Structures are given as C-alpha cells and as structure tokens.
Amino acid sequence: MRIIFMGTPEFAVASLDALLEAGEDVVAVVTAPDKPAGRGQKLQQSAVKTYAISRGIPVLQPMKLRDPQFLSNLKSLGADLQVVVAFRMLPEVVWNMPPLGTVNLHASLLPQYRGAAPINHAVINGETESGVTTFLLQHEIDTGNILFTEKVAIGPDDTAGDLHDKLMAVGAGLLVRTVKALAAGKTNPTPQGRLAPGDVLKHAPKIFKEDGKIDWNRPVDDVYNLIRGLSPYPTAYTELDGQVLKIFRATKEKTAVNHPVGTYFTDGTSFLKFACPDGYITIQELQLAGKKRMDIQAFLRGYRSDSVTIFSQ
C-alpha cells in the first residue's frame, strides 16, 4: 500500500520508524510548519520532519489543511491509506481522500480519554491502566470505529513522561499490526461501545498553564498525581518565597499533619516538604524560575531564604 503519514512530535516518530522498518511504503509525510523557538527564535522543524528527511521521505507542511494547492498535492500522491499519529484535527476532504480512509493511533483505550491530552489526564486521575487504540477517522473527534487496542499498565510512580514512552513503543507496534491487517483485508471495525453500568466517560481536554497550579488543600494523593501527570511538561507548580517553583518529581507520605496546609519546611540540606490536609509531598526534582532543573540536594545547597517557615523543622 501507498501510505501518507501525518504527525508532528517525537511520539509519532516511533510509529513512522516502525512502519518503515516493517517494509511499508510511506510515500510522504505531512507535518506542522517550522516554528520559531528558543531565545534566538530560530525556525525549528518538527521531530517527524527531521526523521523523514533523514530517511529521504518527501515532506508537506501546509499552513491550512483546506488549502487547494495542498489538497492537490495530497491527491496526486495516490495514497491507499493515511495514518495519523499526534497530528491535528483533519477536515473530511482530507481524511476521506484515500480508498481505505485514514487510521488514527490514539494514546488511550477509547472511548475513554478522548481529546488532546489523554496521557496527562490518565495519570492525573490516578489510573492504573491505559493503552493505545487504532481507529478509522470520522466526523466527531476520536469517535471512529475501533480496529485494535492494547493495554499498558501505569505504575504507581509513573509520570506522564514514563507513560508517554511506554505508549509510544506499544503504539508503534500496534500501528504496524493495524496497517498489515488493513492490507490483508483482515479487520473488523467496531463501533465504540457503551460504557458498563457505573462507569463514567472521562475526557482529556487540552491542558493550560493554570491547570498546573497546585492546590495544597487537595488530598495528598491528588496533589501527587497532578505532579506525576504534568511531568515533564507542562509541569505542576507552586510558589516558594514568592517565586514560581516547578515540580518534576516528588514522593508522598500519608500521615497526620503537624503543619498548616500549604506551608513548606526543610532541614536546609536534604529535603523540602509541603503540607497537605492528610500528608506531605516531598520534592525530589524541581526548577525555580530563571534557574535550571535540579535535584533537591543541589537546589538546597545553593538556596538561601529569609523565610522562617522554610527552615523550621
């Protein structure tokens, strides 16, 4: 089959690589336009573009997916199938173009966690299981008929970054399986079923900066899961002596609390703890505004505070 691959971030690169290694004929890649990034605002290409160029695959970067020239170029490629991994919402004129339609790899067990941030929300909600789903695109986002799924366990201390890497690898394999099944005519597209009695449909909307602000009045489990679910990006944060403090890794301790909720304390050398109503969050990796990311010991060696709270035991 002639395949057009659509994707942008590193998560999608694993799938593109797996298709090529499986001998599939990827005739072109569609990815996001280069964007200015960093202090110098130099144009930076997507991870998928970088990989595609290294493999000699033609790259299309439309600003608008309904652009007549882009649609003409897409049609001229004569693809049998389009594959989408971590791209953007496609108009019908695009996803309905190939004879076999368009397959999407989604990082959740659909119908749960439809939306832009399924990995983050699964961890934030304290799930113990996630997975990947391949499905055929249709009008409503993430609602198409399911082709295949594969489950992945979420460890109690896994961050969103950890789960991302697990799903990236498993998803790449599932996508190859899906493409080969489509080529052989051995698929049975299944409508996304109704939930079991008592189950609640959980969504995964885009995450904004304000979603990462820690509310120390929440139970310690919720705070811990928020930190895990937003690490390494966009990161949960709080304030330390009036400065923004990003938290990448932490541990939790459910216990009686002897400090006012939201206060922090340390021995000045080895630990920094924040109080929740039912326990403590102990910071392991953090980043103060304007500084680099570091472990807590390195941070405390260089941090000085006039605050009495921070150094009270």
pLDDT of residue 302: 83
Helix locations, the chain, DSSP H: 10-21, 47-54, 68-76, 92-95, 118-124, 160-183, 220-229, 296-302
pLDDT of residue 312: 44
CA atoms within 13 A on the CB side of 46: 21
For 1-13, b/e burial (b = at least 16 CB within 10 A) is bebbbbbbbbbbb
pLDDT at residue 309 tops 50: no
pLDDT of residue 267: 87
Query: What does the pLDDT average to over 276-283?
Result: 98
Question: pLDDT over 90 for what percent of the chain?
Answer: 85
Spatial separation of the C-alpha atoms in residues 159 and 131, rounded to whole Å: 15
pLDDT of residue 73: 97
Nearest partner of 178 among 151, 147, 200, judged by Cα: 147
pLDDT digits (tens, 9 = 90+) for 60-103: 999 999 999 999 999 999 999 999 999 999 999 999 999 999 99
pLDDT of residue 305: 61
Pairing of strands 59-60, 25-30: parallel
Q: Is the dihedral of CA 180, 181, 182, 185 positive or negative?
A: positive
pLDDT at residue 272 tops 70: yes
CA 84 to chain centre: 15
pTM confidence score: 0.93
Instruction: Evaluate whether 58 touches 23 at the Cβ level (below 8 Å).
Output: no
Mean residue pLDDT across the chain: 94
pLDDT at residue 144 tops 80: yes
